Amino acid sequence: MSIKLDAIDKRILRALQSDSNRTNAELAQHVGLSATPCLRRVNLLEEQGVIDCYVALLNPAAVDLRFTAFVRITLERQDKATVEHFAKEMEKAPEVLECHLMAGSYDYLLRVAATDLDDYQRFQMETLTKIKGIRNVETEIPLRRIKQTTRLPI
């Protein structure tokens, strides 16, 4: 279901993506509305599911999670039970920041946060390799982050 967004809705969403901590009065002033219509629009965007949630984005280094790994998982079979079992196990793993079921040469792509290489290896040995149905695990370690954003280009 696609929701029609007008220019003001998009300004609101861009402003909230850059700083969701601003007050409604600040947001209204930023997007050129008075406070009441601005709040009404934000509430509608929340009700429609356009605004999913509000979060605080943390600096990984500040919480000792300097290590990121991208992990490609190939399952032994792609039947419903195996795929769903793996997905449920990933939902339980706090180290897994993202888990995507993929089309292509592997079945899942994960983004994993860890303190260091040893911590990632612990996760791989104690969590990943114990999951029934995995055929192959390939780990890619980024050398430098060029860009990472949560802002959608609206």
Nearest to 10 by CA among 146, 152, 120: 152
Express each pLDDT in 49-97 by its tens digit. 999 999 999 999 999 999 999 999 999 999 999 999 999 999 999 999 9
Same domain for 121 and 89, yes or no, is: yes
Q: Are 127 and 96 in contact (CB under 8 A)?
A: no
Alpha helices in the chain (DSSP H): 7-18, 24-31, 35-47, 80-92, 117-126
Residue 50 burial (C-beta neighbours within 10 Å; 0-12, 13-18, 19+): middle
Residue 121 lies in a domain: yes
Express each pLDDT in 88-147 by its tens digit. 999 999 999 999 999 999 999 999 999 999 999 999 999 999 999 999 999 999 999 999
Residue 150 lies in a domain: no
pTM confidence score: 0.88
Residue 96 lies in a domain: yes
Task: Indicate which CATH number applies to the domain containing 119.
Answer: 3.30.70.920
Rounded CA-CA distance 26/23 in Å is 5
Instruction: State the chain's mean pLDDT as an integer.
Output: 96
Residue 109 lies in a domain: yes
Find the domain containing 108 and state its range: 60-140
Same domain for 72 and 124, yes or no, is: yes
The count of structural domains within the chain is 2
Task: Indicate which CATH number applies to the domain containing 32.
Answer: 1.10.10.10
